[in-house]
């Protein structure tokens, strides 16, 4: 099973940089030279035919890396120009700039025509929105038709959070130095980084000794390992109960249990409120596989209580009876998955859940649970996931671009799969059903959350590869859920 990729925050990257300098005999410029040369090799790998290169350098050490790259390109006979925001401010950047000028390099004041732009404006230390000339320069880079290689991090992006407090460079490729940055795989960063690449600068793996990663990135190729490890588990889940109390979201409950069936859930029961004929019709096609019972029946509550071995909550309404049933679910001693309106009831009640429960909020639901705004959640998704786990006590699956799974006491898991076409109604109900099905097969709550989110995202990517992202529906993922969830057999 492929191991998750370790991701590091800025503090860890600073510590790695200090160790790297020590391993270079205390020569910080030697490490900068390695970074600039690694960037030039990246250019040769991906754009070997480019002749005209513009390197945009900032005043700090990120700009110093850009000067080294520019000198390497100039010495290789390329037409390279440096466009700088300001005079070099650090001693290392001044030395790199002097070496570039001594080699015959040119300083320009406009982007002009070029085949490639190298973004070396700001590195991982940026924590504010670029303004004035910096903002104008970033806008000019984004408007230029040439591809963009960003060094370490696209300028304007926060490497820790993945958010863009102001204008940020939209890169074609981002070359990270030393280690992978945790903020480049979630939130707004996914729209700015392009393809990610890592240059370790020839440092040994011992440089990471004692430095813990801030997150772990889980890739789609780990799915086979998850399910190979689960071969001893039953291939069908236990009985499941799906509670849908709102009239209009009854289809959400149907969507949820259909996903469970595709992920090997066993017999299920659904409790629902009376709904218009159009909502009732959606249950008829699969009654043999999924039994329903209306709240109007006198035997509804005893039957539901007797069979509630797997309560989850897509489409819970705040209508009459919803809060009473929510209280019964909170008193249930079975594993639970909470979604949709159940999260609104949870936010209003202030109740704590158990560590083996799973909640799957999107940013808006996370904001309600935290008493914050959606923008605040998106500004720092890692902090929001940690706060949700502390607030609710359950395993948190914070949905969105770069889904995060937060469990108490361990680094968050970041799902490196999924695509924009999955931002459509019903995808969240699908995810709830997948996690509940895996939970019923013996996965622990953290493993069910990670494997379920990864399976859901990988199925979305497979469906998008088949017919494209536009018009992607939850039902398009059903065949892929089944294919990806079954272990590969010899």
pLDDT band at 126 (very low <50, low <70, confident <90, very high): confident
Residue 22 in this model has a pLDDT that exceeds 90: yes
Encode burial over 359-371: b for 16+ CB neighbours within 10 A, e otherwise.
bbbbbebbbbbbe
Q: Residue 228 in contact with residue 300, Cβ under 8 Å?
A: no
CATH number for the domain that contains residue 174: 3.40.50.10260
In a domain, 465, yes or no: yes
Q: How far apart are CA 432 and CA 247, in angstroms?
A: 19
Q: What is the mean pLDDT of residues 432-459?
A: 91
Where would I find the beta strands (DSSP E) of 121-165?
148-151
Determine the length of the chain.
490
Dump pLDDT digits (tens) for 226-249.
666 555 455 555 555 566 544 444
The residue among 213, 245, 272 that closes a domain is: 213
Alpha-carbon distances of 413 from 13, 153, 161, 205, 417, rounded to whole Å: 19, 21, 14, 22, 12
Q: How far apart are CA 39 and CA 29, in angstroms?
A: 15
Check whether residue 231 and residue 194 sit in a common domain: no
Q: Please report where in the chains the tokens 């090799």 appear, as a residue.
A: 41
Alpha-carbon distances of 324 from 174, 225, 316, 321, 422, rounded to whole Å: 52, 41, 12, 5, 33
Check whether residue 457 and residue 318 sit in a common domain: yes
Dump pLDDT digits (tens) for 336-379.
999 888 898 999 888 899 999 999 999 999 999 999 999 999 99
Check whether residue 164 and residue 229 sit in a common domain: no
Structure tokens that stand for 85 in this block: 């925001």
Check whether residue 405 and residue 271 sit in a common domain: yes
Check whether residue 304 and residue 177 sit in a common domain: no
Check whether residue 176 and residue 241 sit in a common domain: no
Q: Residue 293 in contact with residue 269, Cβ under 8 Å?
A: yes
Dump pLDDT digits (tens) for 91-106.
999 999 999 999 999 9
Torsion angle of the four alpha carbons 140, 142, 145, 149, in this order, in degrees rounded to the nearest 10: 110
Check whether residue 99 and residue 154 sit in a common domain: yes
The residue among 159, 186, 213 that closes a domain is: 213
Q: What is the mean pLDDT of residues 4-27?
A: 94
Residue 37 in this model has a pLDDT that exceeds 60: yes
Dump pLDDT digits (tens) for 158-207.
999 999 999 999 999 999 999 999 999 999 999 999 999 999 999 999 99
In a domain, 199, yes or no: yes
CATH number for the domain that contains residue 265: 3.40.1190.20
Average per-residue pLDDT for the chain? 83
In a domain, 490, yes or no: no
Provide the domain count of the chain.
2
Q: What is the mean pLDDT of residues 129-140?
A: 93
In a domain, 337, yes or no: yes
In this prediction, what percent of the chain has a pLDDT beyond 70? Answer: 79
Domain that holds residue 412: 221-485
Q: Residue 477 in contact with residue 463, Cβ under 8 Å?
A: yes
Residue 268 in this model has a pLDDT that exceeds 60: no
Task: Give me the pLDDT at residue 324, please.
Answer: 79
Check whether residue 77 and residue 184 sit in a common domain: yes
Q: Residue 156 in contact with residue 127, Cβ under 8 Å?
A: no
Q: Give the burial class of 281: count Cβ atoms within 10 A of its Cβ; 0-12 exposed, 13-18 middle, 19 or more buried.
A: exposed
Check whether residue 227 and residue 184 sit in a common domain: no
Beta pairing partners, 173 = 149, 195
Check whether residue 242 and residue 134 sit in a common domain: no
In a domain, 279, yes or no: yes
The residue among 194, 213, 232 that closes a domain is: 213
Dump pLDDT digits (tens) for 182-191.
999 999 999 9
Residue 322 in this model has a pLDDT that exceeds 90: no
Structure tokens that stand for 313 in this block: 């909550």
Q: How far apart are CA 17 and CA 38, in angstroms?
A: 15
Check whether residue 243 and residue 330 sit in a common domain: yes
Check whether residue 402 and residue 329 sit in a common domain: yes
In a domain, 35, yes or no: yes
């Amino acid at each position: 099973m492929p191991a998750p990729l370790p991701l590091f925050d800025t503090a860890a990257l600073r510590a790695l940089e200090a160790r790297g300098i020590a391993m270079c005999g205390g020569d910080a410029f030697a490490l900068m030279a390695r970074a600039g040369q690694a960037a030039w090799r990246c250019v040769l790998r991906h754009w070997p035919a480019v002749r005209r290169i513009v390197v945009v350098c900032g005043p700090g050490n990120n700009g110093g890396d850009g000067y080294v790259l520019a000198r390497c390109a100039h010495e290789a006979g390329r037409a390279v120009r440096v466009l700088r925001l300001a005079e070099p401010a650090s001693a290392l950047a001044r030395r790199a700039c002097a070496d570039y000028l001594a080699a015959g390099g040119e300083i320009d004041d406009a982007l002009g025509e070029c085949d490639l732009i190298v973004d070396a404006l700001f590195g991982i230390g940026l924590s504010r929105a670029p303004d004035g000339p910096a903002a104008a320069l970033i806008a000019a880079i984004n408007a230029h038709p040439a591809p963009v290689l960003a060094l370490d991090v696209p300028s304007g992006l926060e490497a820790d959070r993945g958010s863009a407090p102001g204008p940020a460079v939209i890169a074609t490729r981002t070359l990270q130095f030393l280690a992978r940055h945790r903020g480049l795989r979630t939130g707004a960063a996914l729209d700015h980084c392009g393809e990610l690449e890592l240059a370790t600068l020839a440092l040994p793996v011992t440089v990471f000794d004692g430095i813990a990663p801030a997150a772990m990135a889980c890739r789609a190729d780990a799915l086979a390992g998850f399910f190979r490890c689960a071969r001893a588990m039953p291939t069908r889940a236990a009985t499941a109960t799906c509670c849908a109390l709102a009239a209009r979201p009854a289809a959400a409950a149907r969507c949820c249990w259909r996903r469970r069936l595709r992920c090997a859930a066993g017999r299920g029961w659904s409790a629902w409120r009376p709904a218009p004929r159009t909502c009732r019709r959606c249950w008829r096609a699969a009654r043999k596989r999924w039994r329903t019972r209306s709240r109007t029946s006198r035997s509804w509550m005893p039957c539901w209580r007797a069979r509630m071995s797997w309560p989850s909550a897509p489409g819970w309404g705040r209508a009459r009876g919803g809060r009473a049933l929510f209280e019964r679910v909170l008193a249930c001693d079975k594993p639970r998955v909470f979604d949709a309106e159940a999260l609104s009831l949870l936010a209003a009640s202030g109740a704590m859940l158990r560590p083996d429960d799973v909640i799957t909020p999107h940013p808006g639901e996370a904001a309600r649970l935290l008493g914050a705004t959606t923008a605040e959640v998106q500004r720092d998704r890692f902090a929001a996931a940690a706060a949700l786990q502390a607030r609710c006590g359950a395993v948190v699956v914070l949905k969105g671009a770069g889904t995060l799974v937060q469990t108490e006491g361990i680094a968050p898991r970041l799902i490196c799969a999924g695509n924009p076409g999955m931002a459509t109604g019903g995808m969240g109900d699908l995810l709830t059903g997948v996690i509940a099905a895996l939970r019923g097969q013996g996965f622990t709550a953290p493993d069910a959350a990670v494997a379920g989110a990864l399976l859901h995202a990988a199925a979305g990517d497979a469906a998008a590869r088949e017919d494209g992202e536009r018009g992607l529906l939850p039902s398009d993922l059903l065949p892929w859920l089944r294919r990806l969830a079954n272990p590969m057999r010899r």
